[in-house]
Structure 1
Amino acid sequence: MSDDNAADKLKGKAKEMTGKATGDKSKETEGKTDQVKAAAEKKAADMKDRVDGAKESFKRDDDS
């Protein structure tokens, strides 16, 4: 997980917990949304890395 991604997830968790502690459903939901967004961004980055790796593998096979 990148530092930015981890920070976004942590901020989301903090918002969620603040919302729960204060009874602010909007803040709680916003925090959960931030966490889901961070998880989706991580999955997208992981998928990009896999695609890049596959492309490199095909390039090596073509060079042989």
Structure 2
Amino acid sequence: MSGTEKSKAHAEKLKGKAKETVGRAVGNDRMTAEGRADQAKGSARQAKEDTKDAFRH
């Protein structure tokens, strides 16, 4: 996985986790759902890059 894409995936997952935590703390279901969606996007980006890496080697 390239360093840039790896950083983006990790940052997106962290952003999502933070958003989910804040959403739960304040009782905002929408923010919690958005946080989970951001985490899923980060995981998908990471899986995509892992697949690309598998075919490079």
> Which TM-score tier does this pair reach, normalised by the shorter chain?
0.7 to 0.9
Give the fraction of aligned pairs with identical amino acids, expressed as a percent. 42
Q: Gapped runs of 5+ residues in structure 2?
A: none
Aligned residue runs from structure 1 range 6-45, under 5 A: 6-45=10-49
**Which digits, 9 at most, give the CA deviation of each residue in 1:21-63, with x for residues without a partner?**
011000000000100110111011000111121xxxxxxxxxx
**TM-score normalised by structure 1 residue count:** 0.77
Where in structure 1 are there 5+ consecutive unaligned residues?
Answer: 54-64
Instruction: Please report the TM-score for the alignment, with normalisation by the length of structure 2.
Output: 0.85
